[in-house]
A and B are shown apart, each in its own frame.
Chain A
């Protein structure tokens, strides 16, 4: 397989898998797991397929032009180091998928889990194989985002939501800092390509901007790797499902930080600033994490702090100015991934089979789950650094480095002791994990009876523990070549000599190991009494809880500061906001006139036609009437607003815009019906003198608003007059007129503009209309009318009581309105025909998809109004608005997408003339298909909104009868209670 394709598939496969998993049914646990497993294994195989090239010292590359004008390319690059991490991400990923299949409960929405997991895997792969720093920062943020989704997977629990939010806030903020740092670094180097950056080490270290770049990049790396003082998010992320913890906090998310540090180590390390920041952060984190871990009562909490501590160790190694320390760091990254993932999985098994993770409640599980117990024992021993396991070897290397580290500070003299102390702590918490859970008397009062888990759930743990043993016994034969490969690609030819073997003779590091082991055991024994007391949390440091500081900062930023700013600069009331907008608009308009002046136009005004003037006398009166009556006489205001719409419509006809008039007329009808349907749900409003507060205040308020309204109206009038008395600019119009027929194939220029020249606008518009219709529908599905509008309106009640038959007949409205009912039934096919006529001729004569769609909607809604909901829906059951909407969108977008198939840009239209028998030559344009799409969408969207609103009355009636029935029941019970 060509390199570029391999890398591209490796990157896109997890994302594609995520989309596919997301589309599975909610409870398809096995299908989702199988899909995720196949994807992870395929990705692992792809990584393996790259091994021959990488092991020969080659680098796989794939480059695609992205923003060439900025010198940015989308670059994928895999050298030995990236290869090692890609293997880690996909390999542990595959194991986690298998484990998660058995861990997740059947009633969890498991496909969503696997979708996020795969997407995260893709993002992580993107981080390790990015060949471009900007791109790396992008995937980095993507990992933060998907880890947020994963940690918050059980979003019904507060802990998951808070943990996810905290992790996102900390790591994504760090990611932003990283992005800024990367930009600075790119500025120093002159390129964002990783190759160029890695080749410019000296220039970077000597540049005056080195320190800012370093601090920003370290902010990103240290937040991600949960280093002090940003470590607090990691324990809170333990609210995630355990497979997520096993994946994110052993092999991937937190390792991204140390990955970046190691990646940039050759070009950025070696300075005093690097040592001070990275080394100190690592040292403090290692000791603090290990210390706190000992006192955790939650198995996962213990592992979380131990993870923090081990990451601190790795960071500390990276902070030392020594190639050997770098080797030890990368080696420990691998070892930690193996034993920590298996320990998380073991903790998950315990939780899964016993129902608790509390060390104080667990004990003696060794008897009920012996196999799991032994696996956990080995993994914990590896974590403690017991000889013949992988943790021991990297720890030996760490001790050797601690002894030989060179730096200008006396601080280093204490490094060996700090290393031993941290190591002893780690022995103590490993003991606590194993001894607390698996030894001692049989457990009592556990939620579930403990037993061994499913064989396949244990399988990933077995693999990982085998790895720990294999690497521990035969390091050079197992991990040796891979580690060597990774180091060669980071350090080039400067890879120092290092020995991967268990036995180096009796030397100081071995002695330190033994002291640490002994010290850890002693510490654990000494602390027994405290553990038994069951006190939560660690002594001495409890007050410095990062979480509480973080929360206080968040409350200040997102609540108090926001409230204060709102108090100063804003209001929650709508009216002042709107008033402010009007005032600003008026001032802006006034300012423009004041600065530039407003001279007379160059066109003489045309003569006033008394008829149109009369139309607008009526129209203006309607507008003023609507404005006055809208509060207490809504129906009248609505009718008057309709009158204004008619005046507008006449104006369009008058000034040669038949298409506009047609659309305005049909839309006017639909809007009026819509608002009429809404009227019923508004509260009754009767004019009571003095209701609006003190007379004086009301008067002042109204005067002010009236002044604003008059100002706005006057301004608009003046602006319109000024525009109309000037020659309009030609701009596009001439072009459109010239090409409408010759290139668009239609004589109706407006329609050709809509479906051809500017069809992208129209496409966007119909998507908006579709979204609005669906939003309306969704809102109305949960609609709860106010209590006082529950009862049927007076008119309905009067009519029902006057009707001798009562509401029993199937079509009550039809019986009262027999003549209109018959007429609307007769007119329905005629209106459908009119719509078809408008649609067909739209390209050449006034009409088109919009007005045709509106006419169909009017025809249907007429049946609803006169025939009643039940009658109409019996007969028009085939009318499914959502299908119309979908068809319309697909047709319009599909027409657009067909163009690229013919090698033309999106939405290019095509037309030709067809010779049809009997009919003759007819123009056939692909834009016509587009117009049919518009038509279908308008029909569907309009009907969906109108019908959803109309249905509220039916539902409302049902709700009323239910409410009445339940109150009647309640009354009866009361009566019964009273008679006792």
Chain B
């Protein structure tokens, strides 16, 4: 299982980095989205991959790590998902504004000189 998830992370990160290095703003946006999937999965995986472990305590129960999933990476990733959404939105709007002002969707705000 670990192999599958780490390969998945690798593919996502690789695709993300590839897009990040592309010249068009939309490519960079999608690239950042893919890269953030990869990073979120990675942070999540640091708590260990647990199939069928309980996530919810019983009434009055004192939880232990043996019986329950690790809540810390999950809380971190949950925050990261929301922040990621917010920054994607900001990036998109900045790119749109830049496109309106400069007339190009090249990441440098002007087409490449040849």
Interface set of A (CB-CB < 8 Å, partner B) = 572-575, 578-579, 582, 605-609, 612-613, 616, 619-620, 623-624, 626-627, 630-631, 634, 637-638, 641, 644-645, 647-648, 651-652, 654-660, 663-664, 667, 670-671, 674-675, 678-679, 681-683, 685, 693, 705-706, 708-710, 712-721, 723-725, 727-728, 730-734, 736-738, 740-742, 747-750, 753-754, 758, 761-762, 765, 768-769, 772-773, 775-776, 779-780, 782-787, 844-846, 850, 938, 941-942, 945, 949
Contacts and interface: CB of A to CB of B under 8 A. Distances in A.
Given A627-B15, A630-B26, A718 B6 contact: yes
B96 A783 contact: yes
The dominant DSSP class at the B interface is helix
A911 to B, nearest CB: 13
B57 A626 contact: no
16 contacts: A575-B108, A582-B17, A613-B4, A619-B8, A626-B15, A631-B27, A655-B69, A656-B51, A657-B74, A709-B17, A713-B17, A717-B13, A718-B6, A748-B56, A753-B75, A850-B82
A616 B41 contact: no
Given A737-B65, A747-B57, A786-B103, A627 B82 contact: no
A716 B42 CA distance: 8
Contact of B70 (A579, A634, A709, A728): A728
Contact of B12 (A644, A670, A783): A644
A749 B47 CA distance: 14
The dominant DSSP class at the A interface is helix
A741 B57 contact: yes
B22 to A, nearest CB: 7
A785 B96 CA distance: 8
Contacts of B58: 747
Contact of B30 (A638, A785, A938): A638
Contact of B63 (A631, A654, A658, A740): A740
Interface in B70-114: 70-72, 74-75, 77-79, 81-90, 92-97, 99-101, 103-105, 107-108, 112, 114
Interface in B24-82: 24-27, 29-31, 33-34, 37-38, 40-42, 44-65, 68-72, 74-75, 77-79, 81-82
A644 B13 CA distance: 12
Contacts of A681: 96, 99-100
Nearest to A637: B30
B4 to A, nearest CB: 5
Nearest to A946: B89
A713 B82 contact: no
Interface residues of B, number: 95
Given A644-B34, A678-B92, A737 B81 contact: no
Nearest to A710: B14
Contact of B21 (A663, A685, A708): A708
Contacts of A949: 92-93
Contacts of A612: 1, 4
B72 to A, nearest CB: 5
Nearest to B95: A678
Contacts of B16: 623, 627
Contact of A675 (B2, B23, B77, B92): B92
A945 B99 contact: no
B75 A575 contact: no
A762 B99 CA distance: 33
Contacts of B85: 667, 670-671, 942
Contacts of A656: 50-55, 69
Which of A608, A651, A782, A787 has the most C-beta atoms of chain B within 10 angstroms of its own C-beta?
Answer: A651
Contacts of B99: 681-683, 786
Contacts of A787: 103
Contacts of B54: 656
Contacts, number: 332
Nearest to B42: A720
Contacts of A717: 6-7, 9-11, 13
Contacts of B90: 772, 775-776
A606 B19 contact: no
Contact of B8 (A638, A651, A732, A785): A651
A664 B45 CA distance: 16
A868 to B, nearest CB: 22
Which of B37, B49, B77 has the most C-beta atoms of chain A within 10 angstroms of its own C-beta?
Answer: B37
The 7 closest A-B pairs by CB, nearest first: A713-B14, A717-B10, A737-B63, A709-B18, A720-B6, A721-B6, A627-B15
Contacts of B1: 605-609, 612
A724 B49 contact: yes
A706 B14 CA distance: 9
B83 to A, nearest CB: 6
A753 B77 CA distance: 12
A659 to B, nearest CB: 6
Contacts of A716: 9-10, 13-14, 38, 42
A323 B76 CA distance: 67
A89 B105 CA distance: 56
Contacts of B6: 717-718, 720-721, 724
B9 A750 contact: no
Given A736-B71, A750-B55, A945-B89, A616 B7 contact: yes
A623 B100 contact: no
Given A709-B15, A736-B71, A750-B75, 16 more contacts: A582-B17, A612-B4, A657-B55, A657-B77, A670-B85, A713-B11, A713-B17, A716-B13, A717-B7, A725-B2, A741-B60, A741-B63, A753-B71, A768-B83, A775-B93, A784-B101
B11 to A, nearest CB: 4
B81 A749 contact: no
A733 B70 contact: yes
B49 A655 contact: yes
Given A626-B34, A637-B30, A717-B6, A651 B18 contact: no
Contacts of A619: 8, 11-12
A100 to B, nearest CB: 40
Contacts of B7: 616, 620, 717
Contacts of B25: 682
Contact of B100 (A731, A783, A850, A938): A783
B78 to A, nearest CB: 5
A616 B1 CA distance: 11
A949 B100 CA distance: 14
A961 B53 CA distance: 60
Which of B20, B23, B31, B103 has the most C-beta atoms of chain A within 10 angstroms of its own C-beta?
Answer: B20
Contacts of B22: 630-631, 705
A623 to B, nearest CB: 4
A682 B26 CA distance: 8
Given A608-B1, A626-B30, A733-B47, A651 B10 contact: no
Contacts of B105: 682-683
A623 B33 CA distance: 10
B97 to A, nearest CB: 5
A658 B70 CA distance: 12
Nearest to B107: A574
Nearest to A732: B72
Which of B1, B41, B88 has the most C-beta atoms of chain A within 10 angstroms of its own C-beta?
Answer: B1
Nearest to B50: A656
A659 B42 contact: no
Nearest to A782: B97
B64 A738 contact: yes
B112 A693 contact: yes
A723 B46 contact: yes
A659 B114 CA distance: 50
B38 A734 contact: no
A644 B33 CA distance: 10
Given A579-B21, A582-B21, A786-B99, A647 B8 contact: yes
A630 B24 contact: yes
Contacts of A682: 25-26, 96, 99, 105
B58 to A, nearest CB: 7
Nearest to B92: A678
A582 B17 CA distance: 8
A148 to B, nearest CB: 30
